[in-house]
Amino acid sequence: VPRHLPTVSALAGIVEGPAVAPEPLRVRTVTDGKLHHVSASQVQTFESCNRKWWFQKVQQIPDRTDTSSRDLGTEVHAILESYLKGGPTPSMGSPLLAERIAASGLIHLPQPGPELQVEQLLDPPLLFAGETPWEGKIDWLTQPTEYTDPVTGQHWHQFQVGDHKTTKNFRYAKSSSELRTLTQFVSYAYWKALQVWGPGVFTQGGYRIMGTHVYYHTQPENLGARAARSKRVDCWLETKDIPALVSALNRTVADMVVTATKTNQEDVPGERATCGAFGGCPFRMQCTIGRRTMNNESTGLPNSLNSLLRKPVGSGPAPTPVAPSAAGEGPVEQPIPGELALAGWAPKAPVLPGPAELVLYVGCLPLVGPHAGVARPLEEVVEAHSQAIREEQGVVDLRLMQFAAGKALLAGSLRTTPPTGVYFVNRSHEMVAVALETLIPLADVVIQGVAT
Ligand code: SF4
């Protein structure tokens, strides 16, 4: 087996050439606009939204989403790894939740033993887009075997690529056809097939790989007594179908190479449909597209105010039709039945702030007009910045930092990445007051209530 496997582009017939020795794998993903390595999860993130990957790997903005489910998944994974390597068998009677979850899926796993490759590193790595190494670790691999179908008489060379997946809901499980083209599975199947059978296998029949995902439910207490706590999905992929799939991955990695050179988010396409997926994109506060989707999803106002804004017109007089404003311009829009209507006021289409606009309502709320129902509490922004600083500094409360350093750090952070959008401000909160002082000079519009 060669130390470095052929480049993907060579396999796909795009470019012929020797493999380039990769840089050490543990360098940062992107430095100075150069992409050093990729992985299946990175490519899947890029496929879901180019800009999300850019925030994560090029801007290196920490992903602050809840890590508790990831921690449980890691624990379950470690128990299964130990089991497949010949360690203790997890028990359904264990007091440990992670062990009970792991035990629920044993029925779907191969027998542990020396024949099994567990936690197999992709080493030597595949090289994509000419020279970018593809990192990864396969949960388990079986040895290649031969099999003759008793019905068709077809003779197969085959092996299995398996992966453990913890999930809160089986609806997130892939279908068999989705699994067959899943980036992670395709890359692992390709790597192993190349190792054991060589490049010639991609142009001949009789060779195939089984992909297996075992899904472990992480909240078994939410399931009925008789419901399955684990689920297995299988697919088959013939080696002759791999080059087309790998060529597509190669093109994706080539796009990632280019995206790694970008310094402005507006030069990186975003995918609006992904903003709210899986609890919401962690970069919505930084993303000009994400912020707009947040504003549209929720007003951020108390329910009582929302209901006031949505109050039916009720018993008051019917709204007076408004004459066309000028000949030839067409009629002015009429109040919509059921919406708040004021005499002489004709609602206009909401004008949301542009991506670079910051509007602050200090001690007051916009009840009608283009910002009604759009304004969000500035506290959300303050909390996001404060959380980042707390984690960096290892403190629990910015107000307790010596020499008011916490306030200075918050002000500096807001000055560096000021928010955009429409916010209402309650300055009685100490850190919000600090934020307000910082942001007023940066805001495009500031409206202050006279009672404050
Ligand atoms: S907020 Fe939406 S568009 Fe922006 S990076 Fe996240 S998923 Fe992509």
pLDDT of amino acid 374: 84
Report the residue count for the chain.
452
Between 365 and 333, the more confident residue is 365
Q: Is the pLDDT score of 376 beyond 80?
A: yes
The DSSP 8-state label assigned to residue 162 in this structure reads: E
Q: Name the one residue in this structure whose structure tokens are 């449980």.
A: 72
Q: Using a 6 Å cutoff on CB, does residue 55 contact ligand 1?
A: yes
284 lines ligand 1 (CB under 6 A): yes
* Mean pLDDT computed over 334-339: 34
424-434 confidence digits (pLDDT tens):
998 788 888 88
Distance 443 CA to ligand 1 centre (A): 24
More confident residue, 299 or 98: 98
Shortest CA distance to 356 belongs to which of 440, 434, 417, 269? Answer: 417
d(CA 174, CA 192) in angstroms, rounded, equals 22
CA of 284 to the centre of ligand 1 (A): 6
The angle at the Cα of 54, spanning 48 to 60, to the nearest 5 degrees, equals 125
The pLDDT of residue 64 is 67
Over the stretch 108-130, which tens digit does the pLDDT of each residue have?
999 998 889 999 999 998 898 88
Given this model, what pLDDT does residue 247 score?
94
Most confident of 166-175, 262-271, 338-347: 262-271
Cα separation, 372 vs 350, in Å, equals 8
Binding site membership of 287 for ligand 1 (Cβ less than 6 Å): yes
Q: What is the predicted pLDDT for the residue at 227?
A: 78
Could you tell me the pTM of the whole model? 0.61
Residue 243: predicted pLDDT: 95
Helices 183-197 + 242-259 axis angle, to 10: 120
- The pLDDT confidence band at residue 413, using thresholds 50, 70 and 90, is confident
Residue whose tokens read 């990695």: 253
- Kindly give the interhelix angle for 378-393 and 405-416, rounded to the nearest 10 degrees: 120
Q: 46 in ligand 1 pocket by Cβ < 6 Å?
A: no
281 lines ligand 1 (CB under 6 A): yes
Query: How high is the pLDDT of residue 445?
Result: 87
pLDDT of residue 313: 34
Contact 360, 378 (CB under 8 A): yes
In angstroms, the CA 122 to CA 439 distance is: 49
Q: Residue with the nearest Cα to atom 2 of ligand 1? A: 275
Confidence bin at 20 (pLDDT 50/70/90)? very low
C-alpha 6: how far from chain center: 31
Separation of CA 273 and ligand 1 centre (Å)? 8
Q: What pLDDT score was predicted for residue 332?
A: 34
- Max alpha carbon distance in the chain (Å)? 86
- Tell me how far apart the alpha carbons of residues 218 and 209 are, in angstroms, rounded to a whole number: 28
pLDDT at 6 over 90: no
Q: Closest by alpha carbon to 5, among 154, 121, 125, 131?
A: 125
pLDDT, residue 450, reads: 80
pLDDT at 338: 32
Which of 65-69, 147-151, 435-439 has maximum average pLDDT? Answer: 147-151
Residues whose CB falls within 8 Å of the CB of residue 280, separated by 6 or more in sequence, listed in order: none
Q: Is the pLDDT of residue 351 over 70?
A: no
Q: Which residues in 39-48 are b (16+ Cβ under 10 Å) and which e?
A: bbebbebbbe
Q: Which of 70-74, 135-139, 212-216 has the lowest mean pLDDT?
A: 70-74
Q: Is the peptide bond before 331 cis (omega within 30 degrees of 0)?
A: no
pLDDT, mean of residues 13-34? 56
E strand map for 272-321: none
Sequential DSSP letters for 316-372: SPPPPPPPPSSTTS-PPPPPPTTS---TT-------PPPTT-EEEEES----SSTTT
How far does residue 37's CA lie from ligand 1's centre (Å)?
Answer: 22
- Does residue 17 surpass a pLDDT of 70? no
Q: Among 63, 264, 274, 291, name the best residue to mutate to test ligand 1's pocket (greatest count of ligand atoms within 8 A of Cβ).
A: 274
Percent of the chain with pLDDT over 90: 47
49: number of Cβ within 10 Å:
24
First to last CA, the chain: 75
